[in-house]
Every structure is written in C-alpha cells, then in structure tokens.
Structure 1
Amino acid sequence: MQPLKRFTQCGSLTMLFGVFIILFGVSSTALTTFGKTNNQPPPTQTPIIKGRECNTHDDCSAIDRTSCVRDPNDFKYRCLCGDDSPPGNGLCRDVLKGLRHKCNSNNDCEDGMVCQFENNNRTIGVSKFISSKIKLCLCDNDNGYVEDILHDICSGANQPLLVNIFTSVFSLMTPFTFSAFMMMRKHF
C-alpha cells in the first residue's frame, strides 16, 4: 500500500489532468460571449451560383478548365471547375482536378488519381462518359485507390490525414507515459 500512496502523492493525477487539458483544450469563448448582444446586421443572402447543366464533356468546351461532372450539391451534371466549384465570371482558378475531370497529365489530378483514358473494365461503378478520346482523372487502382461512387472520391485519400492525427496524439502522449512509467518504476 505504501508505494501506491507515494505514487498518488507524486502528482501523477495532476499529470493526467494536464494531459486531458492539452488534448481537449479549454474553450474560453463561451465565457466571453455570455451576455453580449449581437450588434451585427444579418448577412445578406447571395444567390447560389451553379454551373451550366451538361450531358458530355463537349458541352463544357466553351468554358476553359471545366468538365462535365456531377455537382456535389444537387447531383446534376454541370460544367464545373477542377475543385467541383462553378466557374466565376466564366473563369476557373488553376487547381488540381478532382475525380472524373478532364486532364492532360497526372500533374493535373489530385493525389491518389491518375490521368488516363477510361476503359470498360472498371471494377466499381458505371461511368456516364465511356470514351477513349478524353483523358480523365481516375482513381489510381494500381496503388489501392478505389472509386467511392456515393461520395465521388477515391477511397484511401483520407488515410494520410488519419496517420498524421495518430502520430500527433502519440507524440503528445509519449513524454507523459514515459514519465509515469519512470515514477512507477522508481517507487516499486
């Protein structure tokens, strides 16, 4: 019983509390906004800009850097820029292109995608534009990326983000775990 008593007196509970504060943070915004009135006028409603509806990539040839892809908001096929946004004043920013956008090389496409001619032996989904004349940004099947039809993305694209999150949490926890281990070892 004596070593356990020393362990709790040495501040391991304080250290554990410190870990929770670091991991979950303390938000002071709730304390500073209590009782304040909102003096800002309500935001004005801006019209929602949508791309022109289309049936094929050729329908979008008049607007540079657009492709006929499914709009993520209403799921209709529209002439959209590479980041699935509608062109502003007929222009698109120079961005990496998403799934099923027209491309010239792999450098035009987002990570996990390759620029290639679409073929009929895709394993998942049915394409609206089966054509050997137009190169599209498609999932890199050779490296394990598979098309997710529901979300219009390539699966596996979020894996690097999860690895970074776990690495960050592990690197935060390592010093505290090591310190607690050394304290326990010292007292036993």
Structure 2
Amino acid sequence: MEMWYNRKMAIFLLVLINGWLKIQCTEGFGISSFGKAYTEPPKPVTSTMSPARPCSRQAECAGISSSSCVRTHYDPVTRCLCGDNSPPLNGQCEAQAKSLYHACANSDECNEGLICLMPNITGTAPPHLRVHAPQDKICLCDTEAGFNEKDHTCNDGDILKTSLFAIITVTCIRKILTH
C-alpha cells in the first residue's frame, strides 16, 4: 500500500513540475532556448541596403535619428546602427526598442533584460564602450534581474536557477521511487 502511495505521489510531482516548467517556458517569451536575452536579430543585409556608416564617437551618429554608435558581435567595426542593430534606411530608424550598448534616455527605451545606465568607462573599458562620453547613458544588461554580459549579449541567470531546481527535484523523486 505504501509503495502504491509513493508511486502516486511521484507521478503527481512529475506532472506538477512538468506543468510548472512549461509555464516558465511560455512566460519567458523574451528568452531564447540558449538563455540569452531576447534582442531582435539583425536584419539581413541585402544588396539594396547600404552598410551603416562607421563611427568612433556617439556624436557622429547625431544626424541619424534614433541611431547609436555601437559594435555588434558580427562586426568588429563600430557603426551608426538603429536600435535593432540594423543599418538606417534613408537616414532614419524605424526600430523603437534598443539593443545592448545603444544610447538611451531611460530604461523604457531598452529591450527586455536591459537597463539604461551610464557605463563605467575607464582606461581598461573595451573599445566599443569608449565611443560614449562619460555622461552618456546606454542600454546595459540588468544584472540585478540576473542578466550578465557575455560576447555582446546578455545571458539570463534565471535559466540556470530553473535548471538546478529541476535537477534537485528529479533527484528527490528518484529517491522516493527507489524506496
């Protein structure tokens, strides 16, 4: 009787955890399966679209509305790009939300997982951050929410927490079933 009860509890826990994990996955529309903060992928460059103008200072992009002097993971050159990292079209940007390193006035302008802050620009700061003046605010990874910067993206620490929870839970269920 006790073995039957233990199996029933284990099955109940598995169904409960499975449902919880599915809810966690559907609530995280902004998170990719690789645990990175969702930022719209760059629009593919077509033969009709000219490449964005190279820049070495944020001020050089002032003539292009809503653009920022940024470097992306796929291009070693800092360029005047729109918030979604696409090149401006006819000197204009359509993208509303901004990706990592884009100039901002407040956090509402930044994509999910990003926050508008003044970067800590020192002599050891990477070159792609030195394009900004000390008083400039840019979209950076929201470390308080578990997003950490790596390779020009923000990795989500909550995925790791969920994975550890799942491993511990499965281990406990296996112990219940073996007794």
| Short-chain TM bin | 0.5 to 0.7
Distance 2:144 2:89 in 1: 35
Distance 2:157 2:97 in 1: 14
Distance 1:81 1:67 in 2: 7
Q: What SS does structure 1 have at the residue aligned with 2:99?
A: coil
Runs of 4+ in 1 over 6 A off after TM superposition: none
Seq. identity, %: 33
Q: Quick one: structure 1 residues 91 and 69, their matched pair in 2 at CA, closer, same or farther if it must change by over 3 Å?
A: same
- Residues 4-34 of structure 1 deviation map (CA, whole Å, 9 limit, x = unaligned): xxxxxxxxxxxxxxxxxxxxxxxxxxxxxxx
Q: Quick one: structure 1 residues 98 and 130, their matched pair in 2 at CA, closer, same or farther if it must change by over 3 Å?
A: same
The reply to whether residue 139 of structure 1 matches residue 141 of structure 2 is: yes
What TM-score do the two structures reach when normalised by structure 1?
Answer: 0.53
Q: Which residue of 1 aligns with 2:130?
A: 128
Q: Which residue of 1 aligns with 2:117?
A: 116
* Preserved contact between residue 117 and residue 131 of structure 1 (Cα < 8 Å): no
Structure 1: 5+ residue runs without aligned partners? 1-44, 164-188
Q: Which residue of 2 aligns with 1:167?
A: none
- Residues 140-161 of structure 1 deviation map (CA, whole Å, 9 limit, x = unaligned): 112221111xx311111894xx
Distance 1:60 1:104 in 2: 16
Distance 1:73 1:130 in 2: 20
* Preserved contact between residue 84 and residue 95 of structure 2 (Cα < 8 Å): no
Q: Which has the larger radius of gyration?
A: 1
Distance 1:94 1:157 in 2: 27
The aligned runs of 1:1-188 (5 Å cut-off) are 46-120=47-121, 127-129=129-131, 131-148=133-150, 151-156=151-156, 159=159
* Preserved contact between residue 112 and residue 157 of structure 1 (Cα < 8 Å): no
Distance 1:107 1:72 in 2: 23
What TM-score do the two structures reach when normalised by structure 2?
Answer: 0.55
Q: What SS does structure 2 have at the residue aligned with 1:58?
A: helix
Q: Quick one: structure 1 residues 146 and 100, their matched pair in 2 at CA, closer, same or farther if it must change by over 3 Å?
A: same
Q: Quick one: structure 1 residues 67 and 146, their matched pair in 2 at CA, closer, same or farther if it must change by over 3 Å?
A: same
The structure, 1 or 2, with the larger RCO (C-alpha pairs under 8 Å, 6+ apart) is 2
Distance 1:67 1:82 in 2: 7
Q: What SS does structure 2 have at the residue aligned with 1:154?
A: strand
- Residues 139-187 of structure 1 deviation map (CA, whole Å, 9 limit, x = unaligned): 1112221111xx311111894xx99xxxxxxxxxxxxxxxxxxxxxxxx
* Preserved contact between residue 145 and residue 157 of structure 1 (Cα < 8 Å): yes
Distance 1:59 1:136 in 2: 16
- Provide the aligned C-alpha RMSD in A: 3.0
Distance 1:147 1:65 in 2: 23
Distance 2:157 2:56 in 1: 28
